[in-house]
Amino acid sequence: MKNTAKLVVLGSINADHILNLNHFPAPGETVTGKDYQVAFGGKGANQAVAAGRSGADITFIACVGDDDTGSQVCQQLASDQIDISAISTIPESKTGVALIFVNRAGENVIGIHAGANAALTPALVNAQKDNISEASALLMQLESPLESVLAAAKIAHQHQTKVILNPAPACELPEELLSLLYMITPNETEAEKLTGVRVENDEDAAQASRILHAKGIEVVIITLGSRGVWLSDKGIGQRVPGFHVKAVDTIAAGDTFNGALVTALLEDKPMAEAIRFAHAGAAIAVTRKGAQPSVPWRHEIDDFLQLQGK
Ligand code: RIB
């Protein structure tokens, strides 16, 4: 039976090694950093944490290695209100790793070793068929094997579970996967990769959205950094601005946006209100360092919105 408020997130888990620098090293250059931190991350885990902390009833499908990091991260995820029973520990493998540089402007560049994330096979996805089919929504990203993302989308679609894809990191996607999506949330780079349209203004965002709608996707939300997002709901477009805060570190801002957005939609908030809620979550996240350490709890988002006069 369908649980109307249930969310399943499928995605990656990483240990993020984060180094803060004045500027990114050029090829051949060595730059001494100021601050080094190891924190839990991974786009899937960050979005799961954002959903859990903002109040969703969520199960997370993922893989960790049989190392200390894997068991520590699972404990942390459980304390973030996430059902971790669908996380598999992969023998003789290491939990995923992300090497991240953050510059003075709070921007980041990331290199990834997939580790155990690469072992999230279609067979493991099929073992979670009941969880996926009983949920109202399935939220995924692209740090897991594409064939597994497709397998999960097929199960969800067959059982009227809405499929939401945050297509990060950017890559070209098969038409079959796109046709199974209810909603997609690319940033400008990802939107260009998927549509060929360079997104520099609202008209470009509307054009890219039309291309994505033509592939069968009902809702397109293109994130535009400090300009907010372009929302195109069945072809009706509008820009929804975000909140202006002083960013210290944008790691996991997009992940927080996605996790909080889906949480709010599962609470039946209207789309514009859900986006505002998600903007608030992301605005708080960029004022803090790291991925999961920066993700706010529900009461922090509510307080932030109240301060903004909503
Ligand atoms: O979106 C941010 C995340 O991307 C980081 O936590 C890192 O692990 C990479 O997956």
Task: Quote the CA–CA distance of 205 and 224 in Å, as a whole number.
Answer: 9
More confident residue, 147 or 105: 147
pLDDT at 210 over 70: yes
How remote is the C-alpha of 148 from its chain's centroid? 17
Pairing label, strands 137-140, 162-165 = parallel
- Amino acid in the structure at residue 189: T
Domains of the chain: 6-25+33-307 (3.40.1190.20)
Residue 281: helix, strand or coil by DSSP? helix
Q: Provide the β-strand partners of residue 48.
A: none
Tokens read off for 38: 């190891």
Q: What is the pLDDT of residue 3?
A: 59
Catalytic positions are 255
Q: What is the DSSP letter of 187?
A: B
Read off the pLDDT band of 257 (50, 70, 90).
very high
Mutate to test the pocket of ligand 1, among 69, 185, 255 (most ligand atoms within 8 A of CB): 255
Tokens read off for 106: 């709070």
Residue of minimum CA distance from atom 2 in ligand 1: 252
Q: What is the DSSP letter of 92?
A: T
Number of other residues whose CB lies within 10 A of the CB of residue 1 = 5
Number of other residues whose CB lies within 10 A of the CB of residue 287 = 16
pLDDT digits (tens, 9 = 90+) for 133-179: 999 999 999 999 999 999 999 999 999 999 999 999 999 999 999 99
pLDDT at 226 over 90: no
Mutate to test the pocket of ligand 1, among 43, 141, 255 (most ligand atoms within 8 A of CB): 43
Task: Quote the CA–CA distance of 10 and 161 in Å, as a whole number.
Answer: 13
Burial of 285 (0-12, 13-18, 19+ CB in 10 A): buried
Mutate to test the pocket of ligand 1, among 251, 255, 258, 286 (most ligand atoms within 8 A of CB): 251
Residue of minimum CA distance from atom 10 in ligand 1: 42
- Site residues for ligand 1, CB cut-off 6 Å: 12, 14, 16, 41-43, 46, 98, 110, 112, 143, 251-252, 255, 291
Q: How remote is the CA of residue 112 from the centroid of ligand 1, in Å?
A: 8
Q: What angle (nearest 5°) sits at the alpha carbon of residue 39, between those of residues 125 and 110? A: 75
Tokens 């608030």 correspond to what residue? 280
- Amino acid in the structure at residue 66: D
Q: How remote is the CA of residue 44 from the centroid of ligand 1, in Å?
A: 8
Whether 124 contacts 10, CB under 8 Å: no
Residue of minimum CA distance from atom 8 in ligand 1: 42
Read off the pLDDT band of 1 (50, 70, 90).
low
Whether 278 contacts 261, CB under 8 Å: yes
